[in-house]
Structure 1
Amino acid sequence: MKRLLATLALCLAVTPVWGQEPPAPDGGPGDGPSLMEEGARLLLRGLMAEMEPAIGDMGKALAEMEPALRQLLALIGDIRNYHAPVLLPNGDILIRRKTPDELAVPDGGEIEL
């Protein structure tokens, strides 16, 4: 019984040591971002700085277009009521509306893949 208690006490005393993180090594050559990572970070920061004004302008333009886009969506209704666009030989684009028969769902409700 004494051996069991001594072993248990020793195991419980050592357990917190296993939970500790090893000390971080001093800054070696493999630590920190690589040159490629640093270059990519600088490139993306530059792109973000260049695109920020354009994105702000795009937001303003979309805010101005919002009423017209809402009217267009009200006219179109559900996009599933139309066939896919077809490009005609003369360059015109034809978007046909589906007939009520084409809109009807088959009895089984199955979709053929």
Structure 2
Amino acid sequence: MRRGAAARLSGYANHLRKPHGRPIFPDMKIRALTLAAFLAPALLTAPVLFAQDDPEAWQPPLQDSEPAPEEDGGDLIGRGVGILMENFMRELGPGLDQLRQDMSGAFNNLSPVLKDLSVLVDDLRNYEPPERLENGDIVIRRRADAPPPPPIGEDLRNFTTPEDQPDSSVPRDPDAPEIDL
């Protein structure tokens, strides 16, 4: 014998009765139906109402429009590195400018001497590998089979040590260690 849905539900409701025959939750069905009747329209219309307030709500793409191109991971990494370098240069820029000015002054003073030195050391193949002596000096010997060296230039001949001719363009760090040789 098959029972209908109403008979099955009423049979289930019989299990929820107190021993004297009254239901445990007498108005439960009525309360649940009333609550569902009030909440159903609110729950169904909530997404539509919130979507109207949100200007950036998701809209399905039109059939004629092309899908948005996906960004390549390499492009994102490149942009990230670019941003890091911009921040790095912005923070260190003033210090690097000061260092450039200081180094340019020292290089301008040494450039004539370096030119003469480059002429004096004509070809590196004419020299043996450098040796370090016990006292810390480094010696670069000229090979015996090398041609005679070129003459020493005037700027190198007149070059003085920094102690003899102090340079005001390069400031000296007062906290730097000082070693007398």
Q: TM-score, normalised by structure 2?
A: 0.33
Q: Between Structure 1 and Structure 2, whose CA radius of gyration is higher?
A: 2
Higher helix share: 1
The structure showing larger relative contact order (alpha-carbon pairs under 8 Å, at least 6 residues apart) is 2
TM-score (norm 1): 0.48
